[in-house]
């Protein structure tokens, strides 16, 4: 027995502390979400975890790993769950489908829909659904339906749904997730676009979806038919530097073979940002305007200093022909902020570094103070002339359009 299950009163106290923290940081903004998160005993859905693990506002609890240690299932961090429930706007009496089962989030949804609503949770892994069903029943949420199936097809037996909440990282939007929504229904999904994942709330309008909010997040990736692997391009023979592409490698990746043999070009943008200030719109903006956008990672065990990213695990980058560039930062004199810069390697390194830096300056002038883009999802056979202006990302089942509003002064 863990310390949490041994002392439920202490667990309830810690649960209230988490909710108070999430109210203070602006994650929880509605009374229904607050009430649900105070009511559901989170510790009963992670019985093997310690008190510190279960009752941390910003950390997930991992419940299943494969033989290589890769996370297969988890109870998401309370902050992420509260954020997505606020995005979903679930009301009493609604019919809700949850894609990705763990038990705890389905219990929160059950609290939100009340006795007159319906909750169905689906997962491809029978071990996960068996565990979720057992834990839900033990916590008293016997009305939640638990279905073992590949969620690519949705769960048509119990739809149409007012809300579909996806709790696994998705690369694509299968048609069933749109067709099984009611008119005006909402899909909340952690969607990966060009290597960036955002929890996006989409409202249905006919055959397509339009975003109403987007928040930074990270999730265990989808399994089954919806699984999708990024492609990795190693630009050094040792594997020191890897470039991850979400939608296919460059046309001739061998052109990068000698990029690291050239001197590193460095340019600085003059754009400053506070150390704790989010810059997720910059990430989306560069992913929109740079054709060769990708994510760079450096193996710390093989790092020779050829590149110097601010974050070796996740760094915005771009490829153009035989050159590649990446975004980094340097400290300012007052150390209260950092400055964005660009490093590049390859025969056109100087020009590429300056082009990327100029896009950072454009973001500063026109996008930093304004709203983020509108993201729309259309059927895969939608012609180009029926799509709005902006970056179009083609997936297997859909076409995603990222459109920025009119520029605003910084």
Q: How far is residue 73 from each of residues 189, 352, 371, measured CA to CA in Å? A: 16, 40, 33
Q: What is the mean pLDDT of residues 127-154?
A: 95
At 63, the pLDDT band (50, 70, 90 cuts) reads low
Apex 330 CA angle, 324 and 335, nearest 5: 165
**Residue 1 confidence (pLDDT):** 38
Q: Which of 73, 74, 76, 199 is catalytic?
A: 76
**Residue 234 confidence (pLDDT):** 93
At 320, the pLDDT band (50, 70, 90 cuts) reads very high
Q: Which DSSP string do the residues of 259-284 spell out, in sequence order?
A: GGGSPPEEEEEEEEEETT---HHHHH
**Residue 5 confidence (pLDDT):** 47
Apex 62 CA angle, 57 and 63, nearest 5: 125
CA dist., res. 97 & res. 155, Å (int):
8
CA dist., res. 261 & res. 237, Å (int):
12
Strand partners, 337: 274
**Residue 67 confidence (pLDDT):** 56
Listed in sequence order, the DSSP H helices in 3-93 are: 3-6, 8-24, 31-39, 51-54, 78-88
Q: How far is residue 314 from each of residues 195, 243, 296, 348, measured CA to CA in Å? A: 10, 10, 6, 23
State yes or no: cis peptide before 160, omega within 30 of 0: yes
Q: How confident is the prediction for the chain on average, in pLDDT? A: 91
Q: Which DSSP string do the residues of 122-162 spell out, in sequence order?
A: EES-HHHHHHHHHHHHHTT-TTSEEEES-GGG--GGG--EE
Q: What is the pLDDT of residues 329-352, one digit of tens each?
A: 999 988 889 999 999 999 999 999
What's the longest Cα–Cα distance across the chain?
66
Q: What's the whole-model pTM score? A: 0.91
Is-contact 119 138, C-beta < 8 A?
A: no
Has 76 been annotated as catalytic? yes
Give the torsion through C-alpha atoms of 55, 98, 287, 259, to 10 deg.
Answer: 70
Give the torsion through C-alpha atoms of 273, 279, 281, 286, to 10 deg.
Answer: 80
- Percent of the chain at pLDDT above 90? 76
* SS3 category, 239: coil
CA dist., res. 232 & res. 235, Å (int):
10
**Residue 222 confidence (pLDDT):** 76
| Structural tokens at position 396 | 């297997």
CA dist., res. 237 & res. 366, Å (int):
40
**Residue 46 confidence (pLDDT):** 87
CATH number, domain 3-226, options 3.40.50.300, 3.40.50.720, 3.40.50.150, 3.40.50.970: 3.40.50.150
pLDDT at 185 over 50: yes
CA dist., res. 380 & res. 402, Å (int):
15
Q: Which residue has the higher pLDDT, 40 or 73?
A: 40
Q: Which residue has the higher pLDDT, 308 or 224?
A: 308
CA dist., res. 88 & res. 105, Å (int):
12
Q: What is the mean pLDDT of residues 181-200?
A: 96
Q: What is the pLDDT of residues 375-390, one digit of tens each?
A: 999 999 999 999 999 9
CA dist., res. 230 & res. 200, Å (int):
20
Q: Which DSSP string do the residues of 54-69 spell out, in sequence order?
A: HT-TT--EEEEE-TTS
* SS3 category, 387: coil
CA dist., res. 140 & res. 75, Å (int):
18
| Structural tokens at position 92 | 């009493």
Residue whose pair of structure tokens reads 């990446």 in the numeric block:
326
List of residues 6+ apart from 294 with CB closer than 8 A: 194, 195, 233, 243, 244, 245, 246, 317, 318, 319
Q: What is the pLDDT of residues 199-250, one digit of tens each?
A: 999 999 999 999 999 999 877 777 888 788 889 999 987 889 999 999 889 9
355 φ/ψ angles, rounded to the nearest 5 degrees: -65, -45
pLDDT at 2 over 80: no
Is-contact 173 189, C-beta < 8 A?
A: yes
Q: What is the pLDDT of residues 6-20, one digit of tens each?
A: 577 888 899 999 999
At 69, the pLDDT band (50, 70, 90 cuts) reads low
Q: What is the mean pLDDT of residues 135-154?
A: 96
Closest CA to 161 of 94, 113, 206, 115: 94
């Amino acid at each position: 027995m863990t310390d949490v299950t041994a002392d439920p009163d202490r667990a309830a106290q810690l649960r209230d502390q988490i909710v108070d923290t999430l109210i203070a940081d602006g994650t929880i903004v509605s009374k229904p979400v607050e009430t649900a998160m105070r009511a559901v005993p989170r510790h009963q859905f992670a019985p093997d975890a310690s008190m510190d693990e279960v009752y941390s506002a910003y950390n997930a609890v991992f419940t299943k790993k494969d033989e290589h240690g890769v996370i297969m299932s988890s109870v998401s961090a309370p902050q992420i769950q509260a954020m997505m429930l606020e995005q979903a706007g679930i009301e009493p009496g609604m019919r809700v489908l949850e894609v990705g089962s763990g038990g705890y989030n389905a219990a929160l949804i059950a609290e939100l829909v009340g006795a007159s609503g319906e909750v169905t949770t689906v997962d491809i892994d029978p071990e996960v659904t068996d565990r979720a069903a057992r834990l839900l029943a033990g916590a008293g949420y016997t009305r939640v339906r638990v279905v073992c199936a590949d969620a690519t097809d949705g769960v048509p037996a119990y739809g149409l749904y007012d809300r579909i909440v996806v709790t696994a990282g998705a690369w694509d939007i299968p048609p069933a997730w749109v067709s099984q929504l009611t008119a005006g229904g909402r899909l909340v999904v952690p969607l990966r676009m060009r290597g960036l994942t955002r929890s996006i709330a989409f409202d249905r309008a006919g055959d397509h979806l339009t975003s109403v909010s987007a928040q930074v997040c990270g999730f265990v990736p989808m399994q089954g038919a919806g699984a999708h692997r990024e492609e990795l391009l190693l630009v050094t023979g040792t594997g020191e530097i890897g470039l991850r592409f979400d939608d296919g490698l460059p046309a001739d990746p061998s052109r990068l073979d000698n990029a690291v043999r050239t001197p590193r070009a460095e340019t600085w943008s003059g754009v400053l940002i506070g150390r704790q200030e989010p810059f997720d719109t910059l990430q989306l903006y560069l992913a929109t305007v740079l054709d060769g956008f990708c994510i760079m990672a450096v193996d710390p065990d093989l790092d020779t200093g050829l590149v110097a990213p601010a974050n070796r695990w996740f760094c915005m980058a771009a490829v153009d022909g035989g050159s590649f560039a990446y975004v980094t930062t340097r400290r300012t004199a007052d150390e209260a902020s950092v400055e964005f810069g660009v490093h590049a390697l390859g025969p056109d390194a100087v020009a590429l570094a300056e082009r990327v830096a100029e896009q950072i300056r454009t973001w500063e002038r026109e996008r930093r103070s304004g709203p983020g883009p509108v993201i729309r999802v259309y059927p895969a056979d939608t012609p180009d002339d029926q799509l709005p202006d902006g970056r179009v990302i083609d997936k297997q089942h859909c076409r995603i359009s990222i459109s920025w509003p009119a520029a605003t002064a910084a």
